[in-house]
Amino acid sequence: MIGVVGLGARAGSFMLRDITFTVPTGAWGVVLGPAGAGKTTLLETIAGIRRVVSGAVALRGVDVTRQPPEQRRLGMVYQHAYLFPHLSVDENIAYAARDHDAARETADRLGASALSNRPVASLSGGERQVVALARALSPRPDVLLLDEPFAALDPRRRTSIRAELRRMQREWGMTILHVTHDFIEAGTLGDLAIVLNDGAIEQVAPPDVLFRKPASVAVAGFLGFENVFSGQVVSSGEGVGERLITFTGNGIELVGVGDHPRGEGHAVIRAEDVMLAREAPGPSSARNVLRGPVVSVTGHGPLSHVTIEVGTTNLTAILTEGALREMGFAPGVPAVAIIKATAVHLC
């Protein structure tokens, strides 16, 4: 278990403020956030490398805030491997291993054994990462902190290392906190996603919830939601929990599903959830139908982004190459956008 409560830390002029979350034992937490959000600082503070300014860190249910790093029994892998250059590959892997066999087994499972005779300086970036992972895993830690450890790996090796690490985690009951920029990686590996922005938590949620329901405009923007509108929630139904909500802003009205109260809010819609047509359809289940001329068409290989003007703002949809050709969308051509209420997330 990795838990932090009200955690504050400092890195130069940068401050980490009031961070609270818990990754349960045996779970895989992913940390997302733009560059400079404080992701590495967070890992270093949990590892004890960086001093805690406020709050507490707990590992395995025990407060370790005052413990030095060497007593926290965790493994840490930086984005750049930081292999000890004065030691051989084997010496690096065995640096903290309980015994020779543990080191060799870890190296074998990660495919690092083949590198053992090579000088550290001659390893590629990906090979260094593999050795760094083996070094961190040799002492069989039950808490593992990873800072973009797969970034330097080629795609094939990335897949196999991820899978092996997943197996090790299950076998040993490791709790992992993993900083990544890769949303697919976060979605496939993560049990829990923590979004940091500018030193503070934006959202803590399982990845599938996160990618459907960003908690804020900042998260939506960071996760790549193409359509973000700000305005007012004018009616918010009755009762608690999910309900139908009406939103107006930027000269458009949208119906969505959620639990947002009345007042200021944002509507976010993924471009792939927007359907485009040349003319308004007949009666349909979709609650939102918006009209406007095409403003731009930008090609992205088999997929194109088509942006239309609605109200005083723009709405972007993703179309396949074939659909674009059939519809004949080009700047100036009138279009109709159709969006289901469940695709409109309010935050």
Partner 1 sequence: MSQRPADRALTGSLIGAAMILVALLVLPVGALLLRGGAAGVRQLLMDAELQQALLLTALAATTATAITILLGTPLAYLLARHRMPAQAVVGALIELPLLIPHPVAGIALLLAFGRASPAGAALAAAGLRIVGSPFGIGLAMLFVSAPLYVSAARESIARVDARYEAIARTLGDSEWTAVRRIALPLARRGLLAAAIVMWSRAVSEFGAIVILTYNPKVASVLSYDRFTAFGLDAALPVAAVLVLLAMIPLTLLRALRREESSA
Q: Are strands 288-300 and 334-339 parallel, antiparallel or unpaired?
A: antiparallel
Q: In terms of CB distance, is 14 or 82 closer to partner 1?
A: 82
76 lines the binding site for partner 1 (CB under 8 A): yes
Burial degree of 116 (CB within 10 A; 0-12, 13-18, 19+): middle
Lookup: tokens for 172:
């040993």
Closest to 20 (Cα-Cα) out of 56, 66, 65, 64: 56
Lookup: tokens for 188:
């496939």
Q: Which of 38, 75, 190, 292 binds partner 1 (CB under 8 A)?
A: 75
Q: In terms of CB distance, is 78 or 183 closer to partner 1?
A: 78
68 lines the binding site for partner 1 (CB under 8 A): yes
Q: Where are the alpha helices (DSSP H) in 16-142?
A: 39-47, 89-93, 100-110, 125-137
Residues 264-293 that bind partner 1 (CB under 8 A): none
Helix or strand or coil: residue 39? helix
Residues 140-159 that bind partner 1 (CB under 8 A): 145
96 lines the binding site for partner 1 (CB under 8 A): yes
The alpha carbon of residue 197 and the mean position of all alpha carbons in its chain are separated, in whole angstroms, by 12
Q: Which residues contact 319 (CB under 8 A, 6 or more apart)?
A: 276, 303, 304, 306, 327, 329
Which residue, chain included where needed, has tokens 């309980």? 98
Q: In terms of CB distance, is 143 or 271 closer to partner 1?
A: 143
Q: In terms of CB distance, is 98 or 262 closer to partner 1?
A: 98
Q: Which of 85, 263, 301, 332 binds partner 1 (CB under 8 A)?
A: 85
Q: Which of 63, 82, 277, 280 binds partner 1 (CB under 8 A)?
A: 82
From 70-78, 150-158, 171-179, 217-225, give the range in contact with partner 1 by CB under 8 A: 70-78
Q: Which of 26, 34, 126, 139 binds partner 1 (CB under 8 A)?
A: 139
Lookup: tokens for 289:
């139908």
The 237-266 site mask, x for binding partner 1 (CB under 8 A), equals: ------------------------------
From residue 213, give the alpha-carbon distance in Å to each of 82, 219, 267: 37, 9, 10
72 lines the binding site for partner 1 (CB under 8 A): yes
Q: How far is the CB of 68 from partner 1 (least distance, A)?
A: 7
Distance between CA atoms of residues 184 and 178, nearest Å:
13
Give just the sign of the alpha carbon dihedral 64, 70, 80, 102: negative
Q: Which of 74, 133, 233, 290 binds partner 1 (CB under 8 A)?
A: 74
The 20-49 site mask, x for binding partner 1 (CB under 8 A), equals: ------------------------x--xxx
Distance between CA atoms of residues 23 and 7, nearest Å:
15
Q: Which of 26, 34, 95, 228 binds partner 1 (CB under 8 A)?
A: 95
Binding site for partner 1 (CB under 8 A): 44, 47-49, 68-70, 72-76, 78, 82, 84-86, 95-96, 135-136, 139, 145
